[in-house]
Amino acid sequence: MNTILNKLNWRYATKKFDSSKQVSKADLDTLLEGAKLTASSYGLQPYEIYVIKNDNIRQELRKASYNQPQITDSSYLFVLANKPNFDEALIDDYIDNIVSTRGVTKEDLEGYSQSMKSALLDLPNDDKNKWSSNQAYIVLGNLMTLAAEMEIDTCPMEGFNKEQYNKILGLTKKGLNAAVVLAVGYRSTEDDTQHYPKVRYSQEQIITHI
C-alpha cells in the first residue's frame, strides 16, 4: 500500500498516551513549521497556536476538558486559537507581510486589500468566528497528517469548554478564541483503541465522480 496511506491507517485518535515518552524538540519544531506552512483563505492565517507544556496549566485545562487524560499525558498540548472578531488590522498586517516578503508595493496590492476587506469585514460576528475557526481546522488536519507521517501520535479534541480555555489561557483579551485542541505524543501500548478497525464510509458512499 502507498506509504502515506499506511501512515493514515497507522494513526488513530489516541486515548492513552505514554507520558514517559517525549516528542523531541526537533520534531516539535518540524510540526510547528508544518503548521506555519498551512494554507488559509486569502493566506490571512487568522489564528495563533499555543503550545502547552506546563503541567499546572494542563491540569487546569484537563478539568475544563471532561477530565480527558490526553490533556495531561501527551508530550504537548496544542491549542489552535482563531481570531473571532478580527478587524482591518488582520488584512493590513498581511499586506505589510506580502510587501516585505515579495518586494511589491502597497499600491500594487490595493485592489487585493480592498477585495479582502469587502468580503470579510462586514460579516456578522458569528460568521467571522466561523470563518476564522474553519481556517484553524485546516492547521489541525495538516498537523495530524504530518505527525502521522513522522509516527507521532495525536488526538484532535473538541471535547472542552471554550470559555474556560479562553479564561485559563487569557485568550479573549488577545482577541483569540480556543477553536480546537490537539494532544501530541506517543501512544501507550495499553491503549486498546489502537487495535480497533477504522470505521469509515466506503468511497462509493461518500465520493461522487462527475
Ligand X SMILES: Cc1cc2nc3c(=O)[nH]c(=O)nc-3n(C[C@H](O)[C@H](O)[C@H](O)COP(=O)(O)O)c2cc1C
Interface with ligand X (CB under 6 A): 12-13, 15, 68, 155-159, 180, 198
Rounded CA separation 65/160 (Å): 4
- The residue nearest ligand X at its CB is 159
The nearest distance, CB 196 to ligand X, in angstroms, is 7
Q: Which is nearer to ligand X, 71 or 91 (CB)?
A: 71
Rounded CA separation 195/74 (Å): 19
Q: Which is nearer to ligand X, 95 or 136 (CB)?
A: 136
Rounded CA separation 122/48 (Å): 22
The nearest distance, CB 181 to ligand X, in angstroms, is 8
Q: Which is nearer to ligand X, 95 or 154 (CB)?
A: 154
The nearest distance, CB 19 to ligand X, in angstroms, is 16
Comparing C-alpha atoms, which of 58, 44, 157 is closest to residue 96?
A: 44
The nearest distance, CB 180 to ligand X, in angstroms, is 6
Query: Looking at residue 187, what DSSP letter applies?
Result: B
Rounded CA separation 92/89 (Å): 5
Q: Which grid coordinates belong to 43? A: 493566506
Q: Which is nearer to ligand X, 98 or 150 (CB)?
A: 150
